[in-house]
Amino acid sequence: MTSMPQVLVVDDDPHIRQLLAFALEKAGLAVREAEDGEAALAAVAEQAPDLVVLDINMPRMDGLDVCRRLRAQGDLPILFLSSRDDEIDRILGIELGGDDYVTKPFSPREVVARVQAILRRARSPRPVEAGESQTETLSRGRLSLDGESWSARWDGAEVGLTVTEFGILKILLSAPSRVFTRDQIIDRLHGPGFAITDRTIDSHVRNLRGKFAAVGGHDVVETRAGVGYRLGPCLGVQPDVASRA
């Protein structure tokens, strides 16, 4: 029982909570429920789950506010649920640190699959590919990544990243001169056939850039227009000087 991953399902609709709890428990996950944002924060404070399934549109305290507070405390994985087909909600959620999102109406099997994918990334790094090391420290310029502890540092100071942000940076650092398309990044993060939008990757990269820019790392990720992303020189060069085609 102690090794069973715990998921906190937060939604003001009891039918959705029950539906997801049934599907997740059937998949071998332990589930707790919270009916609003305040109850969710109290549940996390009482016993931190391994992942939160978090509805965006809730009364009193919506999911984005809950995410902000959770992100101020740490990097607890978050899967957003949204009842609106609104790209702003989706992108803002990812920029706040959400690991993925699902739009209502959804298939419970899809939610389970995405929860399991996030938990796999959080608990065990993907298999090492040819020419890539899983455990040794990778570095370029003032940037270093420790694959064993999943920590990123700039000039020796740790920069707090979500699992997805770290995964993207590790992919780029594994082949510094290579330009990765968004599809290639998605495949390496989630495996082939995992359906998320290109804009989700763009939002993670934007959030990644912002975190490093805050500590002087203005040139960590470069955009290749119409192609994708590659690692920058990581020397702290200002954006107006860095090569950003």
**Domain layout of the chain by residue ranges:** 6-123, 137-231
Pick the closest to residue 224 from 174, 185, 170, 197 (CA basis). 185
Pick the closest to residue 70 from 162, 149, 158 (CA basis). 162
Q: What is the pLDDT of residue 197?
A: 59
Q: What is the pLDDT of residue 136?
A: 66
Task: Round to whole Å and give the CA distance between 195 and 101.
Answer: 11
Pick the closest to residue 51 from 10, 17, 107, 1 (CA basis). 10
Distances (CA, A) of 101 to 47, 51, 243: 23, 13, 32
Span 137-231 CATH architecture: Orthogonal Bundle (1.10)
Q: Mean pLDDT score of the chain, rounded to an integer?
A: 83
Q: Which residues pair with 169 in a beta bridge?
A: none
The answer to whether residue 241 scores a pLDDT higher than 60 is no
Task: Round to whole Å and give the CA distance between 108 and 35.
Answer: 18
Pick the closest to residue 13 from 118, 127, 106, 113 (CA basis). 106
The per-residue pLDDT for range 26-56, each reduced to its tens digit, is: 999 999 999 999 999 999 999 999 999 999 9
pTM of the model: 0.59
CATH class of segment(s) 6-123:
alpha beta
Average pLDDT over residues 102-116: 89
Helix axis angle, 63-73 relative to 87-95, nearest 10°?
A: 10
DSSP code string of 34-98: ESSHHHHHHHHHHS--SEEEEES--SSS-HHHHHHHHHHH----EEEEESS--HHHHHHHHHTT-
Strand, helix or coil for residue 9? strand
Q: Are 222 and 229 in contact (CB under 8 A)?
A: yes
Q: What is the pLDDT of residue 37?
A: 94
